[in-house]
Amino acid sequence: MKPRPDEATSEQKLIERARAGDRTAFNGLVERYQHRAYGLALRMLGNPDAAADVTQDAFISAFRAISSFRGSAFQTWLFRIVANGCYDYHRARNRHPIVSLDEALEHEQTLDVLPGQESRLSEELVEQYWEPERSALRGETIALLERLLLRLPPEQRTAVILCDIQGMAYEEIAQVTDASLGTVKSRISRARAHLRVLLATEGELSGRGRRPESEPSMAERRNISE
Amino acid sequence: MNGEPGVDHHDMIEQRELLSAYLDGELSARERQALAEHLTSCDVCREELDALRQVRTLLRALPSPALPRSFTLPETGALPTTTVRATGRTRYRPRVAHVAQWAGGVAAAAGFALLIGSAMLGHSPITAAPSAASNAFVPAAGAAHVAPTGTQNLLQHTGSAGAAATPNATAHLYDRATATPVPSSANLAAEHISETADIGQTVQAVLPYAGAGLASGGLLLLVGGSVVARRQRP
């Protein structure tokens, strides 16, 4: 994820010129990071239009604020702007994310899965997620995971996205989210545990060769042993 | 249940954090060593590690979404303005978040009050002075609790918004992507109305009139405002 040395130098040059107001140079940075930035926003928000708006705003804000960017990693700084944009999006739309509900749920769920009880997802369940020979995830799985990600409390969601989807180290994530290392570690752990429970209860795909399942009945057929 | 001394499985949450960080290579060398040793003899932790790894593997296999368009900035000319939603800022100042939730009902009520007030006035002569017009709204039904100053300031703002009396003038108050009224005027109304006393009573008194909520309330505010603005012209 870190730029190679030659890339780093040219990126440094782009940043220098962008600081001087050179938009073309800044657009060089945009081209380098826009895919990742959009991906982050989309996974955080689940809404392509909103993600596009947040991404565009983030680059505009970044250009305006480029003079205050000092050294270190441009990506970290940029992602922080994107993540904040996502939080602002929720606030401006009066979306008080179901934090209280979800936090309660998350707390319950992680306590539910105790040692000694079923903690792995069954092989059978996991097999259905993949195309033959595990070459790629099935389309349905992708949709499922995207949906389940949105069920996580925003802080957990952000942390696990930055870790597992953007491949960032904990220290970087801490900077992007303005949190301590311990908090980052905790959020990622809870997010994974939470997702595991969600997959176990709702992760059965419809096209398994059985009769098509509608969402409610999938939820009913819980097979968690407790 | 097997367990090395010193590993408390009742504190699985913390243990899980260790395992999760272990997966990410984020433990110190010493922690890693200790955990690796523990795992050789602890089925519970091994199972937990496997479960965490399964989730991580699935997430890492998610393809990155296609870019819908380019986000490069225009080379020349003004930068596009950032959208309201992304910055969280509206035209009218902060403190939005905490009033936003009940602003809907209050805004709708104020909107209704304006409409009722203007209906009551009918064609009675209205002087050019905004204050006179706004005072005329004071006795409007259901608006008894709304302070004159609140309404006046509200009218001035919506009046300026409606002065051009065209859709374009009010368009900036709408969230352009979703075409719902941005709660900016509603929040302004809420802010000013909140300066009156008995806000709780006000809300309860006008709730029956609240109608469809924020969208209609905002719309009514704007409509009422532009109606008044028109009448003010000689």
Complex ipTM:
0.82
- Helix B199-206, helix B96-121: angle, nearest 10: 60
Closest residue in A to B67 (Cα) is A35
Mean pLDDT, to the nearest integer, of A124-131? Answer: 91
pLDDT in tens, A32-66: 999 999 999 999 999 999 999 999 999 999 999 99
Residues of chain B with pLDDT under 50: 1-3, 5-6, 85-101, 104, 122-200, 202-204, 210-212, 225, 229, 232-234
Question: In degrees rounded to 5, what are phi and psi of residue B10?
Answer: -75, -15
pLDDT at B83: 75
Residues 171-200 of A with CB under 8 A from B: 185-186, 188-189, 192-193, 195-196, 199
Across-strand partners of A137? A130
Which residues of chain B neighbour A111 with C-beta distances below 8 Å?
Answer: 13
Looking at the complex, does the CB of residue A137 fall below 8 Å from at least one CB of chain B? yes
* Long-range CB contacts for residues B68-72, cutoff 8 Å, separation at least 24: B68/A38, B68/A48, B68/A52, B69/A52, B70/A30, B70/A31, B70/A34, B71/A30, B71/A34, B71/A37, B71/A38, B71/A52, B71/A55, B71/A56, B71/A59, B72/A27, B72/A30, B72/A31, B72/A34, B72/A59
Looking at the complex, does the CB of residue A39 fall below 8 Å from at least one CB of chain B? yes
Percent of chain A with pLDDT over 90: 60
pLDDT at A225: 44
Which residues of chain B neighbour A140 with C-beta distances below 8 Å?
Answer: none
Whole-angstrom distance, CA of residue A38 vs CA of residue B74: 18
pLDDT at A37: 97
Q: If phi over 0 gives left and psi between -120 and 50 gives alpha, with beta otherwise, what is residue A104?
A: alpha
Q: Which residue has the higher pLDDT, A31 or B204?
A: A31
Q: Which two tokens stand for residue B215?
A: 């969208």
pLDDT exceeds 90 at position A220: no
Cβ neighbours of A174 (radius 10 Å): 20
Mutation target to probe the B interface, by most B beta carbons within 10 A, among A56, A89, A156, A186 is A56
pLDDT at A94: 56
Contacts of residue B151, Cβ cutoff 8 Å, sequence gap at least 6: B110, B113, B114, B134, B137, B138, B143
pLDDT in tens, A4-15: 667 777 899 999
Q: How far is CA B127 from CA A75, B10, B117, in A?
A: 59, 77, 16
Count of A–B CB contacts within 8 Å? Answer: 176
Contact B79 A61 (CB under 8 A): no
pLDDT at A95: 53
Whole-angstrom distance, CA of residue A32 vs CA of residue A88: 24
Please answer whether residues A178 and A80 qualify as being in contact, where contact means their C-beta atoms are separated by less than 8 angstroms.
yes
Across-strand partners of A130? A137
Distance from CA of A216 to the nearest CA of B (A): 23
Contact B73 A60 (CB under 8 A): yes
Closest alpha carbon to B73 in A33, A57, A16:
A57
> pTM for this one?
0.61
A181, A184, A189, A194 alpha-carbon torsion, rounded to 10°:
160
Closest alpha carbon to A32 in A49, A11, A50:
A11
pLDDT at B176: 40
pLDDT in tens, A184-205: 999 999 999 999 999 998 888 8
Closest alpha carbon to A160 in A198, A130, A132:
A198
Whole-angstrom distance, CA of residue B110 vs CA of residue B101: 15
pLDDT at A212: 45
Mutation target to probe the B interface, by most B beta carbons within 10 A, among A29, A44, A54, A60 is A60
Cα dihedral sign, A78-B175-B179-B81: negative
Q: Which two tokens stand for residue B204?
A: 């309860």
| DSSP structure class, residue A165 | I
Looking at the complex, does the CB of residue A110 fall below 8 Å from at least one CB of chain B? yes
Closest residue in B to A161 (Cα) is B59
pLDDT exceeds 60 at position A113: no
Contact A92 B87 (CB under 8 A): yes
Please answer whether residues B200 and B104 qualify as being in contact, where contact means their C-beta atoms are separated by less than 8 angstroms.
no
pLDDT at B102: 55
Contact A120 B86 (CB under 8 A): no
pLDDT at B64: 92
Contact B71 A34 (CB under 8 A): yes
Cβ neighbours of B39 (radius 10 Å): 16
Whole-angstrom distance, CA of residue A51 vs CA of residue B62: 17
Whole-angstrom distance, CA of residue B218 vs CA of residue B183: 7
